[in-house]
């Protein structure tokens, strides 16, 4: 369920705000979204993995808080981020 270094670097390069950016909310949301999608597919195969389900719910809550932060600071950044990631329907 963890991301390897190459996948992390690709996500960082795709969503970074400036050239040395590795921890902006956009990058954090992108990494959480990737981990959530991988963990969701794992849980579809392993229905009784309750500890992973709890971790998934914590990640979803963290992503929700980060998206709220981005939205409070800039509606434009928020809308482009959810557009890029394809979340929020």
2 pLDDT higher than 90: no
In this prediction, residue 60 carries a pLDDT of 97
In a domain, 58, yes or no: yes
Q: Is there a domain that residue 18 lies in?
A: no
Is pLDDT of 4 > 60? Answer: yes
Task: HSE, CB side, 13 Å, CA atoms: give it for residue 28.
Answer: 15
Question: How far is it, in rounded angstroms, from Cα 24 to Cα 3?
Answer: 18
Tell me if 39 is assigned to some domain. Answer: yes
pLDDT digits (tens, 9 = 90+) for 25-51: 999 999 999 999 999 999 999 999 999
Range of the domain at 59: 23-85
Q: Which two tokens stand for residue 64?
A: 């929700």
Residue 88: per-residue pLDDT: 81
Domains in the chain, number? 1
Q: Which domain CATH number covers 71?
A: 1.10.287.10
Is the pLDDT at 77 greater than 70? The verdict is yes
DSSP string, 13-64: HHH-SSTT-SSSHHHHHHHHHHHHHHHHHHHHH-TT-HHHHHHHHHHHHHHH
pLDDT for 3 equals 85
The answer to the question of residue 49 being in a domain is yes
Is 59's pLDDT higher than 80? Answer: yes
């Amino acid at each position: 369920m963890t991301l390897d270094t190459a996948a992390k670097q690709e996500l960082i390069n795709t969503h970074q705000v400036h050239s040395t950016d590795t921890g902006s909310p956009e990058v954090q949301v992108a990494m959480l979204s990737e981990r959530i999608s991988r963990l969701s597919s794992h849980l579809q195969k392993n229905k009784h993995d309750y500890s992973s389900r709890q971790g998934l719910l914590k990640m979803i809550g963290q992503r929700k808080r980060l998206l709220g932060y981005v939205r409070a600071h800039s509606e434009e950044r928020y809308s482009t981020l959810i557009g890029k990631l394809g979340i929020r329907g």
